[in-house]
Amino acid sequence: MDFEQADALNQAIRLLSLRHRARAATLLAPLGLHPGQEALLLELARTGPAIQSQLSEALGCEPPSVTLMTRKLEAGGYIRREPAPSDRRASIVELTDSGKALADQVKRLWCALAEETVAGLPAETVAELPGILRTLTGNVDSRRSRRPPEDDAV
């Protein structure tokens, strides 16, 4: 791939990421949520109660970020945390009834955001996008620990 093509691809991914996150923040603000918190709510709605370390893994973020999110969501009455019976150092997190209702609102908002994002694309392309994006994410994740290519000019 030449630089122009690489630059166009990388810029498009960067701009999509930034603009999607900004649009999500705008849609989440009336619900009193910040980007990232909706992912935690949706994960709990999908899987049920989970240990914070499991949430960290599922969300792809660091444990301190999950701790901060859970504290804020707990203060809002959307989740509850209890010590895990098998390990008192670990916390089990679960949605409250208010959290379940909020997760339902987030699901509707998420559908609207997805529809905005793919507007104008053929249905076949939309159907393929999740797989393509998972592949791109996997490609980046699998290369995270690798060093960047050496500059031949050095």
Predicted local distance difference test score (pLDDT) of residue 110: 96
Q: What is the mean pLDDT of the chain?
A: 91
80 near 70, Cβ under 8 Å?
A: no
Instruction: Name the pLDDT band for 145 (thresholds 50, 70, 90).
Output: low
From the list 110, 4, 90, the residue with the least C-alpha distance to 49 is 90
Instruction: Name the pLDDT band for 151 (thresholds 50, 70, 90).
Output: low
| pTM exceeding 0.85 | no
CATH class of 3-136: mainly alpha
- In the chain, where the domains are located: 3-136
